[in-house]
């Protein structure tokens, strides 16, 4: 998880329609009676007495008042004082437009552009908008430009869009200035020019366009077309946020995260992100989640993080889907709920988040939160493996390594282990090494096995370090090299690989590649024994019993022999039997001695078999 720290170029659309109350270029008024009806109807409309306004507006329209037709059309479109009848609204907008009412033309074009109550017709919308633009209607210039910019005719025409935004800006439409600034900033429809973008954002902002103020702040943060000024950016974002523009609150929060013009204050940022999140900014939800999940506000609080991630996921911020799923899957919010994790992982997987495919596959594989489904798991693993997710390739290899009868089939597993290994999976290299060592699915090749074990060791697979070290000790697939063996055993032992600790102890006992050091050997045997290596327990017991590498401790030795014998280590049972025979480390107990010698004999310890014959004779 990482905190989003990018200030994005904002490019938000706006409503194409204008209300009936807006100021317009007035068409021919019609008869004086019609004009009187219109004026009275308009007053009632503005007073929201729509049911009383409608009859007067109808009379005005029928008497030749284009404005009356326009207001009446708006009433039918919105259902104000009359039943909403879209077809009637379209007919009246056409009538008013034909009579020269520009706002009616504009709204009619907007309906065609958006497909509102009429079939979508971009060409018709552009025809009307561009005609109005040529007649000096700046808002229509902007709307036509947006259609070209969005590629509503099949592909974007940024040169035409840029020209129309310029016309709109020159005509006083501040949102056009904002959009023109975006195009200069991005280099769309012409050269990239951050200085000109900065100027246009400032013009838009000075004219009251909050999006212009927002992007003006961004230029100060990024030093794009102007010198960096964090304080100026902070002031602008604060103004935009106070005006109710959620993206301004998001960017204001980022100034508190990064210290742009203000001291860093993650607590203040969290509140602003939460505010912007509730107003529909997925990035803010994601960032709020990260502040809690990463412990930026004190202790990590995944329970508070997960609702923010889920809301960001609802806004199709896919990384948030994965993060929420991960919290539920691992129980990081206090309760492991894989059932909630699965749909989040699947959504992220469908959107191309490879590790989410892997995690969803693991849930199906293990039957956690869902009925176990190996085929579904295999499908998800394959999707992730095909995108080079080494863990998925590893698990896919494990599934592929079983034939229809449930028997191992290493030939199927091999290519997936190879892909896992090549992708950096130490376990993939280790398992591939085992296949080469044992000749399963491949020709036996100890040298290749040792090479793979060393690659796996470099990825901190302790068992692989032990296997590679053993090959250097016994000269299997490589020249004998006790010094290299010691390095590998040390690495494995540090990672709690008990056999490696035991073997490292043996090197110090015999002085192979190191200066003999019985004290060090005794310590290593103790570490190996504590980790469950019963051979090491026996060796430590012998050293404790004889006082090699430290003080003599026969009582401790007997305990260690007993532990080794309980672990079915034959020599440990033999030494425990001797301890009982000789009164070493505790009372003499011949019966106990015979019992453990009998166990050792069954385990193949010939010396114990000899002791049993001696007792019987």
Cα dihedral: 324, 328, 334, 337 (round 10)? 150
CA distance 141 to 167: 6
What tokens appear for 39 in the block?
A: 């004026």
What pLDDT, on the 0 to 100 scale, is given for residue 143? Answer: 97
pLDDT tens per residue, range 239-298: 999 999 999 999 999 999 999 999 999 999 999 999 999 999 999 999 999 999 999 999
Q: Strand, helix or coil at 408?
A: strand
Look up tokens 């034909």; give the residue: 98
Q: Whole-prediction pTM value?
A: 0.78
What's the domain count of the chain?
A: 1
**Rounded distance between C-alpha atoms, residue 237 and residue 493, angstroms:** 56
Q: Residue 134 has what pLDDT?
A: 97
User: What is the C-alpha to C-alpha distance for residues 21 and 451, in angstroms, rounded to an integer?
Assistant: 80
Confidence grade of residue 474 (pLDDT, cut at 50, 70, 90): very high
pLDDT of the residue at 407: 59
pLDDT in tens, 110-159: 999 999 999 999 999 999 999 999 999 999 999 999 999 999 988 999 99
- pLDDT for residue 408: 58
CA distance 173 to 531: 76
Residue 1 has pLDDT above 90, yes or no: no
**C-alpha triplet 176, 177, 180: angle, nearest 5°:** 85
Residue 593 has pLDDT above 90, yes or no: yes
Who has greater pLDDT, 135 or 9? 135
pLDDT at 26: 42
Burial class (CB in 10 A: 0-12, 13-18, 19+), 432: buried
Is residue 500 included in any domain, yes or no? Answer: no
Residue-wise pLDDT for 414-470, tens only, equals 999 999 999 999 999 999 999 999 998 899 999 999 999 999 999 999 999 999 999
414 assigned to some structural domain: yes
465 assigned to some structural domain:
yes
Q: Does some domain include residue 415?
A: yes
Answer whether residue 567 is part of any domain. Answer: no
pLDDT exceeds cutoff 90 at 412: no
Q: What pLDDT sits at residue 11?
A: 32
Structural domain boundaries, residue 424? 388-495
User: Could you tell me if residue 405 is inside a domain?
Assistant: yes
Confidence of residue 27 (pLDDT cuts 50, 70, 90): very low
In a domain, 183, yes or no: no
Residue 196 has pLDDT above 50, yes or no: yes
Give a yes or no: residue 402 inside a domain. Answer: yes
Q: Band the pLDDT of 404: cuts 50, 70, 90.
A: low
How much of the chain exceeds pLDDT 70, in percent? 94
CATH classification of the domain holding 440 = 1.25.40.10
What's the confidence (pLDDT) of residue 304? 97
CA–CA–CA angle 94, 98, 102 (5° rounding): 85
């Amino acid at each position: 998880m990482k905190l989003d720290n990018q200030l994005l170029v904002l490019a938000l659309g706006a409503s194409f329609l204008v209300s009936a109350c807006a100021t317009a270029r007035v068409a021919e008024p019609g008869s004086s009676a019609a004009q009187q009806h219109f004026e009275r109807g308009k007053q009632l409309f503005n007073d929201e007495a729509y049911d009383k306004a409608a009859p007067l507006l109808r009379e005005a329209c029928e008497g030749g008042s284009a404005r009356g037709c326009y207001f009446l059309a708006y009433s039918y479109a919105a259902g104000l004082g009359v039943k909403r009848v879209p077809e009637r609204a379209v007919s009246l907008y056409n009538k008013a437009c034909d009579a020269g009412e520009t706002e009616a033309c504009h709204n009619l074009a907007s309906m065609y552009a958006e497909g509102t109550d009429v079939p979508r017709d971009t060409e018709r919308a552009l025809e009307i908008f561009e005609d109005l633009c040529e007649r000096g209607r700046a808002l229509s210039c902007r709307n036509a430009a947006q259609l070209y910019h969005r590629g509503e005719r099949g592909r974007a025409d940024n040169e035409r869009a840029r020209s129309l935004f310029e016309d709109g800006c020159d005509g006083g439409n501040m949102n056009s200035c904002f959009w023109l600034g975006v195009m200069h900033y991005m280099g769309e429809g012409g050269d990239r020019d951050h200085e000109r973008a900065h100027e246009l954002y400032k013009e838009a902002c000075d004219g009251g366009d909050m999006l212009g103020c927002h992007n003006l702040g961004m230029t100060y943060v990024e030093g794009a077309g102007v010198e960096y000024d964090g304080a100026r950016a902070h002031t602008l974002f604060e103004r935009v946020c106070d005006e109710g523009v959620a993206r301004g609150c998001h960017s204001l929060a980022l100034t508190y995260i990064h210290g742009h013009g203000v001291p860093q204050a993650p607590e203040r940022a969290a509140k602003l992100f939460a505010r912007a999140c509730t107003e529909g900014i997925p990035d803010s939800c994601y960032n709020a989640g990260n502040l809690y999940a990463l412990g930026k506000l004190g202790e990590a609080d995944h329970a508070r993080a997960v609702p923010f991630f889920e809301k960001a996921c609802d806004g199709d911020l896919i990384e948030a889907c994965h993060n929420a799923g991960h919290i539920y899957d691992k129980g990081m919010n206090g309760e492991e709920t894989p059932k909630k994790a699965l749909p989040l992982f699947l959504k992220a997987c469908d959107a191309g988040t490879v590790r989410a495919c892997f995690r969803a596959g693991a849930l199906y594989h293990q039957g956690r939160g869902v009925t176990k489904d190996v085929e579904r798991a295999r499908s998800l693993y394959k999707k992730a493996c095909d995108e080079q997710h080494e863990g998925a390739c590893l698990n896919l290899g494990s599934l592929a390594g079983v034939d229809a009868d449930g028997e191992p089939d290493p030939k199927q597993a091999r290519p997936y282990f190879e892909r896992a290994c090549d992708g950096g999976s130490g376990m993939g290299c280790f398992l591939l090494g085992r296949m080469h060592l044992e000749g399963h699915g491949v020709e036996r090749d100890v040298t290749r096995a040792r090479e793979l074990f060393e690659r796996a060791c470099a990825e901190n697979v302790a068992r692989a370090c032990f296997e590679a070290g053993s090959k250097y000790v016994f000269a299997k697939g490589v020249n004998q090299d006790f010094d290299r063996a010691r390095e590998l055993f040390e690495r494995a032992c540090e990672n709690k690989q008990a056999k490696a600790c035991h073997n490292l102890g043996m090197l110090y006992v015999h002085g192979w590649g190191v200066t003999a050091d019985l004290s060090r050997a005794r310590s290593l045997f103790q570490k190996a024994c504590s980790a469950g290596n019963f051979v090491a327990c026996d060796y430590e017991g012998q050293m404790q019993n004889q006082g090699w590498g430290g003080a003599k401790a026969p009582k401790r030795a007997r305990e260690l022999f007993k532990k080794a014998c309980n672990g079915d280590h034959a020599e440990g049972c033999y030494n425990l039997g001797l301890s009982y025979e000789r009164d070493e480390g505790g009372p003499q107990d011949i019966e106990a001695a015979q019992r453990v010698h009998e166990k050792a004999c069954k385990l193949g310890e010939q010396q114990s078999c000899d002791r049993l014959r001696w007792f019987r004779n």
